[in-house]
Amino acid sequence: MVVAVYPGTFDPLTWGHMDIIERAVAVVDKLIVGIYENLAKRPIFSLEQRVRLVEEAVSGLPNVEVKSFKGLTVDFTHQVGGKVMIRGLRANSDFEREFEMALMNRKLAPDIELLCLMTSSQYQFLSSTLIKEVAQLGGCLEGMVPEHVAAALKERFSMPTKLATSKGKM
Q: Which entry of 41, 70, 97, 162 is annotated as an active-site residue?
A: 41
Per-domain residue ranges for the chain? 3-124
Question: 3-124: which CATH number, 3.40.50.620, 3.40.190.80, 3.40.50.1780, 3.40.50.300?
Answer: 3.40.50.620
Q: Which entry of 30, 52, 83, 90 is annotated as an active-site residue?
A: 90
pTM exceeding 0.95: no
Whether 17 is a known active-site residue: answer yes
pLDDT tens, position by position, 84-127: 999 998 876 677 788 888 889 999 999 999 999 999 999 988 99
Instruction: Give the CA angle between residues 143, 149, 155 to the nearest 5°.
Output: 120
Instruction: Give the CA angle between residues 99, 76, 12 to the nearest 5°.
Output: 70
Q: Which entry of 50, 87, 128, 154 is annotated as an active-site residue?
A: 128
Range 139-144, long-range pairs (CB < 8 A, 24+ positions) = 139/163, 139/168, 139/169, 139/170, 140/164, 140/165, 140/166, 140/167, 140/168, 140/169, 142/166, 143/15, 144/14, 144/15
Per-residue pLDDT of the chain (170 residues; tens, 9 = 90+): 999 999 999 999 999 999 999 999 999 999 999 999 987 778 999 999 999 999 999 999 989 999 999 999 999 999 999 999 999 988 766 777 888 888 899 999 999 999 999 999 999 889 999 999 999 999 999 999 999 999 999 999 974 444 444 444 44
Whether 148 is a known active-site residue: answer no
Q: How many residues does the chain have?
A: 170
Whether 90 is a known active-site residue: answer yes
Whether 121 is a known active-site residue: answer no
- Position 169 scores a pLDDT of 42
